[in-house]
Amino acid sequence: MTPTEIPMIETPRLRLRRWEERDRAPFAAMNADPVVMHDLGGPISRADSDAKYDRFASAFTQRGLSRWVVERRDGPFLGYAGVLYRAEHPALGTHHDIGWRLVREAWGHGYATEAAKAALRDAFTRANLKEIVSYTSPDNLRSQAVMERLGLARAPSRDFTADYGQGDWRGLVWIARSA
């Protein structure tokens, strides 16, 4: 399947799709929200948000996988979820990770779990991946709860500390494996 043939994913309530130019502004607004961005050291600038947008959008073309835009089936932008290739991670080396981030108004509705489950299924079936990791900080209990609902297995031997430019950050690692 070529990158231009990457399908949209639909769940009962959500649509996961590739990035479009119209997503830049709501993506930047989400990245500017201090509550949403708390576990990553706080809000990021518009320039950093645009760079992240560009990285996510180009990953579909380069690798066929990325974070998907998540929106309700009736249209509003909710955030992102999906699997991303990571090369040369300081602690985990080369790997694929699943991640999600939603606007604050979308929290508490089960959207992160629904979207991440669909993204995992796609990565295991369409991309034929064997292992996908996920990591979060010890205080991000909301993401840890999503990881548990997804059936990811905790992997404490792979936990790490890394400096992402804002001091040391501790990552708790969880693993998903294809069936």
Q: Domain with 113 in it: what CATH number?
A: 3.40.630.30
Q: What is the pTM of this model?
A: 0.92
pLDDT higher than threshold 80 for residue 167: no
pLDDT higher than threshold 80 for residue 38: yes
Q: What percent of the chain has pLDDT over 70?
A: 96
Q: How confident is the model at residue 4 (pLDDT cuts 50, 70, 90)?
A: low
pLDDT higher than threshold 90 for residue 90: no
Structural domain includes residue 19: yes
Structural domain includes residue 115: yes
Angle ∠(138,139,140) on CA atoms, nearest 5 = 95
Structural domain includes residue 107: yes
Structural domain includes residue 2: no
Instruction: Compute the Cα dihedral for 71, 38, 94, 152 and give only its sign.
Output: negative
Instruction: Count Cβ atoms within 10 A of the Cβ of residue 11 and give its class: 0-12 exposed, 13-18 middle, 19 or more buried.
Output: middle
Neighbours of 15 (CB within 10 A): 19
Number of domains in the chain: 1
Structural domain includes residue 152: no
pLDDT higher than threshold 90 for residue 179: no
Range of the structural domain that residue 61 is part of: 8-128
